[in-house]
Chains A and B, each alone.
Chain A
Amino acid sequence: QQQVKQSPQSLIVQKGGISIINCAYENTAFDYFPWYQQFPGKGPALLIAIRPDVSEKKEGRFTISFNKSAKQFSLHIMDSQPGDSATYFCAASIGWAGTASKLTFGTGTRLQVTL
C-alpha cells in the first residue's frame, strides 16, 4: 500500500516536445507529492511539488496534474530541452512541514531529449 508506481521507465522526446510522466499511488493518507530530478552522479533535486487540495501546479515549463479520485499525478515538461535529460522520480509522503516524513519514491523515468 506504500508503493508509488511510475511510468514509463524511459522516454525519448524531441526538443520542443512535451514530456509526460505518470505516477499512481494507493495510500490515501499521502498528502504531499514532490517530483525530483536527478542527473548522473548527483543527488535528487526537488523540481516541483503539489498537495492534494489543488489539481494543478505550474512552475515555468513544469506542471504537475493531480487527480485525487484516481490517485494519480503526472509531470508535464513543456518545450522539452536537451538539458532536461535526466532521471525523474515522483514521490509521496504523509505529512510535510513540521514532521520528519519519509518519502516513498517511484521507480524513476529516464528522460532523453533529442535535438
Chain B
Amino acid sequence: DVKVTQSSRYLVKRTGEKVFLECVQDMDHENMFWYRQDPGLGLRLIYFSYDVKMKEKGDIPEGYSVSREKKERFSLILESASTNQTSMYLCASSSTARDGSYEQYFGPGTRLTVT
C-alpha cells in the first residue's frame, strides 16, 4: 500500500520558534509538495520539489522554506513561526505516468497551532 507519512498529526508552537514539518513517501516518487489548507480558502501550494535538492515556489511561499536532501523526504521549515501560519499542512507526492497523467498521494496532515 502506498504511503505518505507526516511527522506529527498535531503540533503547538510559540511565536518566533523554528518549526520543522517532515514528510516521507515510500513510492520512489520524483515530485513532492507542501500545501496548507484554511477554511474557505481550499488547498494552497506552498512549495514543491521535482527532484532531490530541487525546489520551486508555489503560490504562497512567503515565510516558509523547504529541504529535500533525499528522494523520499521533503521538509517544510517555518523559520520564525507566526500566528498567521496556524493551519493544516498537507504533504503529497506523485510521479508521472506514461500517458502524462499523474496521481498525487497525500499524507494525513499536520494541524499546526502557533500561539
Say whether A and B bind each other. no
